Amino acid sequence: MKLKSPRALMATAMLLAGANAAEAHIVAARLGDFYMGAMHPLTDLQDVVLWTATGMLAGTLGAKGRWLILVFPLGLLVWLPFGSALGAASTQLAGAAMMLAIGMLLAAAAQVPTLLLCALAFAVAMIRGAANAADLRPETDRLLFAAGLACVGYGAITLTMALTAVFKRPNSDSATSWRAIALRALGGWVAAIGLMMASLVLAS
């Protein structure tokens, strides 16, 4: 029984990781390239987990995190023009490594300095911007796609940070409160998913 749960988790992770951008392309056919850019990251497990983890880490750090409102969408745009230059495996591996690092920081409830937090978020955004750009088709309007991607990046990171800040309740300073422990446990899960994904990429 003990063995089944990790296997099921791994199978689910593989299934979700394998979900390609088909849904986003359907959105593009229906609503155009702006909405394709906005929907594309939401159809990829790495984007969802990494963005949420980054937002949660920033949200636990209070006012330091607000710089990410600017830094994160900018990071998504920086690497977008060179998306195909990086291989799919290298972006997957880099993403998994970032997931592991951020998950561990979250699990350790580390007080990350503002500069390091911004650097981490920028790196995550650059890696995922490149991964999203790799799926672009020649006929896709890059300007509209980039605008959609940056908008969803801004919205997702801002809302995640605010929700985490509300959940954590900054006035309650107890590090042993169930809320703080829940966030640390989630950080542990993120790190575990990162480790599994890195292993999968290295094994394949």
Partner 1 sequence: MRAIQYLRLALLTLTLGLAALIRPAALSAHEAAMGVLEFREVRPGAFVGRWSIEPSIGAARVDLRVPSHCFLRLPEMNCGQQGLVGPITISNLGSNMSVVLIRLIPIEGEPRSYTISTANPVVTVLGTDAPTLEAWIELAKTYVNYGIDHILLGADHLLFVLGLIWIVGGGWRLVKTITAFTIGHSASLAAAAFGLIGVPERPLNACIALSIAFVGVEIVKQQRGEIGLTARYPWVVAFTFGLVHGIGFASALAGLGLERRLLPAALLFFNIGVEIGQLAFVLLVLALIWAHRRLDAFVPRWSEALPAYLIGSVSMFWFFGRLARMFAAI
The structure tokens listed for 126 are: 């650059």
CA distances from 125 to 10, 18, 79, 119, 132 (A): 25, 20, 9, 10, 10
Site map for partner 1, 67-96, x if CB under 8 A? --x---------------------------
Among 9, 13, 16, 32, binds partner 1 (CB under 8 A): 32
Q: Does 159 bind partner 1 (CB under 8 A)?
A: yes
- Give the nearer residue to partner 1 in terms of CB position, either 31 or 182: 31
Q: Does 65 bind partner 1 (CB under 8 A)?
A: yes
Helix (H, G, I), strand (E, B) or coil at 117: helix
For residue 202, the 8-state DSSP code is: H
Choices 25-33, 123-131, 171-179, 189-197 (CB under 8 A): range interacting with partner 1? 25-33
Residue found by looking up tokens 């291989």 in the block: 87
Task: Report in angstroms how near the CB of residue 140 gets to partner 1 at its nearest.
Answer: 11
The structure tokens listed for 18 are: 């394998």
